[in-house]
């Protein structure tokens, strides 16, 4: 495998692998700077006069508000476009919609189901396209996660992150890619039948060989959490899978993040969850509301990590 390039010429942001480790650190540094500027009341209108179109086929709290407020703080404007409010809802092709919107706005953010949809948008778009979430990938959330870890631990490379729960979801996949790119070990533990996508897992392992990240899978959550610096989980049934929750509970109950499982981690571990969370299911209240939890810092960092991304993509 060829040595990973230090930076990429970023046109679109569809998965974490559109970045390099150096790109991620550059975005985190810029995000931390702009976060401090907000606290200090220092304006940073890097995108004065720019407009972001935001297409939502999946509902959202953090994605919509963070992108909208982010564009405002950057001096630009964001347009909320429900799929039912534009011609996509009446059968216009993705390609036609992308080509039309590209002539009106400076960038597009899409939150949808099929990853092929954002890929088609990007292929037809003359402006940058950002994946706000698809079924297999959630890269904007993982940028915020890595920023949160870096703020607290002061580094990323050499740390160990453990993901416990549904391995075949967008958070696991994007975390695998992000961890591998920055040289962070990642251990995943999921019930049988809910393992990460094999191609994504193997690709992350291959990246890890270049960056020094050890990417592993464990049948027992205790093995995955052993000496972890960061523990991450997500809901047991993602958006669109809610009707499977009662069935899934019987498989996922041993994978709950609780006091007993966290005793295998380092004493100063961090707990992360992309939210919304279901207390008493994937995580107990004492953990998510306890001293190790950084879930609200993580949610806040969606705003600043995405501002750094928007600046990088739209400024020029």
Same domain, 194 and 261: yes
Distance of CA 220 to the CA centre of its chain: 25
251-292 pLDDT, tens digit per residue, is 999 999 999 999 999 999 999 999 999 999 999 999 999 999
Q: Is residue 3 part of a domain?
A: no
Same domain, 125 and 147: no
Same domain, 101 and 231: no
Apex 17 CA angle, 16 and 21, nearest 5: 85
Q: What is the CATH number of the domain that holds 22?
A: 3.40.50.1370
Same domain, 131 and 148: no
pLDDT at residue number 31: 98
Binding residue per annotation — 64? no
230-246 pLDDT, tens digit per residue, is 999 999 887 666 777 78
Residue 1 has pLDDT above 60, yes or no: no
Same domain, 156 and 44: no
Same domain, 244 and 116: no
Same domain, 125 and 230: no
pLDDT bin (cut points 50, 70, 90) of residue 203 is very high
Residue 2 has pLDDT above 60, yes or no: no
Binding residue per annotation — 90? no
Binding residue per annotation — 103? no
Binding residue per annotation — 140? yes
Q: Is residue 4 part of a domain?
A: no
Same domain, 289 and 154: yes
Binding residue per annotation — 238? yes
Range of the domain at 212: 140-298
Same domain, 217 and 104: no
Q: Which H, E and C letters describe the chain, residue by residue?
A: CCCCCCCCCCCCECCHHHCCHHHHHHHHHHHHHHHHHHHHCCCCCCCCCCEEEEEECCCCCHHHHHHHHHHHHCCCEEEEEECCCCHHHHCCCHHHHHHHHHCCCCEEEEECCCHHHHHHHHHHCCCCEEEEECCCCCHHHHHHHHHHHHHHHCCCCCCEEEEECCCCCHHHHHHHHHHHHHCCEEEEECCCCCCCCHHHHHHHHHHHHHHCCCEEEECCHHHHHCCCCEEEECCCCCCCCHHHHHHHHHHHHHHCECHHHHCCCCCCCEEEECCCCCECCCECHHHHCCCCECHHHHHHHHHHHHHHHHHHHHCC
Residue 210 has pLDDT above 80, yes or no: yes
Same domain, 235 and 293: yes
Same domain, 147 and 212: yes
Rg, the chain, Cα only: 19
pLDDT bin (cut points 50, 70, 90) of residue 294 is very high
Q: What mean pLDDT value characterizes the chain?
A: 95
For tokens 């990590």, the residue is: 305
Q: Is residue 6 part of a domain?
A: no
pLDDT at residue number 79: 97
Q: Beta partners for 80?
A: 54
Which residues have a catalytic role annotated? 111, 138, 141, 234, 274, 302
User: How much of the chain, in percent, has pLDDT values that exceed 70?
Assistant: 97
Give mean pLDDT, residues 30-53.
98
- Considering its fold, how many domains does the chain have in total? 2
Q: What is the pTM of this model?
A: 0.96
Residue 76 has pLDDT above 80, yes or no: yes
Contacts of 237 (CB under 8 A, 6+ apart): 166, 244, 245, 248
Same domain, 144 and 274: yes
Q: Is residue 238 part of a domain?
A: yes
Q: Give the sheet arrangement for strand 107-111, strand by strand.
A: 77-82, 51-56, 107-111, 129-133
Q: Is residue 2 part of a domain?
A: no
Binding residue per annotation — 63? yes
């Amino acid at each position: 495998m060829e040595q990973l390039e230090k930076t990429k010429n970023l046109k679109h942001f569809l998965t974490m692998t559109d970045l390099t480790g150096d790109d991620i650190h550059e975005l985190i540094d810029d995000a931390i700077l702009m976060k401090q500027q907000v606290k200090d009341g220092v304006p940073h209108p890097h995108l004065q006069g720019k407009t972001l179109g935001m297409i939502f086929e999946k509902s959202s709290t953090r994605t919509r508000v963070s992108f909208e407020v982010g564009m405002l703080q950057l001096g630009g404007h964001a347009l909320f476009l429900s799929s039912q409010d534009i011609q996509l809802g009446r059968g216009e092709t993705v390609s036609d919609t992308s080509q039309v919107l590209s002539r009106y706005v400076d960038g597009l953010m899409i939150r949808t189901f099929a990853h092929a949809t954002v890929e088609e948008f990007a292929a037809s778009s003359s402006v940058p396209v950002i994946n706000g979430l698809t079924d297999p990938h959630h890269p904007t959330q993982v940028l915020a996660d890595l920023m949160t870890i870096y703020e607290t631990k002061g580094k990323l490379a050499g740390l160990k992150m453990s993901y416990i729960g549904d391995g075949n979801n967008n958070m696991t996949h994007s975390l695998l890619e992000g961890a591998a790119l920055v040289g962070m070990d990642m251990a995943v533990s999921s019930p049988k039948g809910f393992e990460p996508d094999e191609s994504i897992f193997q690709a992350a392992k291959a990246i890890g060989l270049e960056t020094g990240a050890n990417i592993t899978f464990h049948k027992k959550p205790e093995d995955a959490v052993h000496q972890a610096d960061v523990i991450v989980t997500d809901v047991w049934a993602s958006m669109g899978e809610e009707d499977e929750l009662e069935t899934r509970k019987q498989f996922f109950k041993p994978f709950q993040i609780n006091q007993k499982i966290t005793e295998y981690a380092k004493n100063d571990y961090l707990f992360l969850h992309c939210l919304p969370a279901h207390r008493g299911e994937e995580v107990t209240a004492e953990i998510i509301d306890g001293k190790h939890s950084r879930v609200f810092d993580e949610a806040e960092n969606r705003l600043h990590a995405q501002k750094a991304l928007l600046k990088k993509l739209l400024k020029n």
